[in-house]
A = this chain, B = another copy of it.
Amino acid sequence: MIEVIALDGDDTIWHSEHLFVDTQDRFRELLRPYAELNDAALDERLLEVERRNLPLFGYGVKAFTLSLLETAIEVTDGRIPGRDLQAVLDLGKVLLDHPVELLDGVREAVDALTDDYRVMVLTKGDLLHQETKVARSGLAELFWRVEIVSEKDEATYQRVLDRHDVDPATFVMVGNSVRSDVLPVLGIGGRAVHVPYSVTWALEHVEPDPALHDFPVLRSLTELPACIATLQAES
List residues of A whose CB falls within 8 A of some B CB.
Answer: 56-59, 62-63, 65-66, 69-70, 72-74, 76-86, 89, 92-93, 96-97, 126-129, 131, 145, 148-151, 163
Contacts and interface: CB of A to CB of B under 8 A. Distances in A.
A76 to B, nearest CB: 6
Contacts of A148: 127
Contact of A128 (B78, B84, B93, B150): B150
B97 A58 contact: no
B126 A93 contact: no
Given A70-B89, A85-B69, A89-B69, A128 B80 contact: no
19 contacts: A56-B93, A57-B62, A58-B126, A58-B127, A62-B66, A65-B66, A66-B66, A69-B85, A70-B89, A73-B86, A74-B86, A76-B82, A78-B86, A80-B81, A81-B82, A82-B82, A85-B85, A127-B127, A128-B150
A56 to B, nearest CB: 5
A60 to B, nearest CB: 8
Contacts of A70: 86, 89
A contacts with B: majority SS:
helix
A147 to B, nearest CB: 10
A72 B151 CA distance: 32
Contacts of A58: 126-129
Nearest to A34: B82
A33 to B, nearest CB: 13
A57 B89 contact: no
Contacts of A163: 145
Contacts of A93: 56
A74 B86 CA distance: 9
A66 to B, nearest CB: 6
Given A62-B66, A82-B82, 5 more contacts: A56-B96, A66-B92, A70-B89, A72-B82, A127-B148
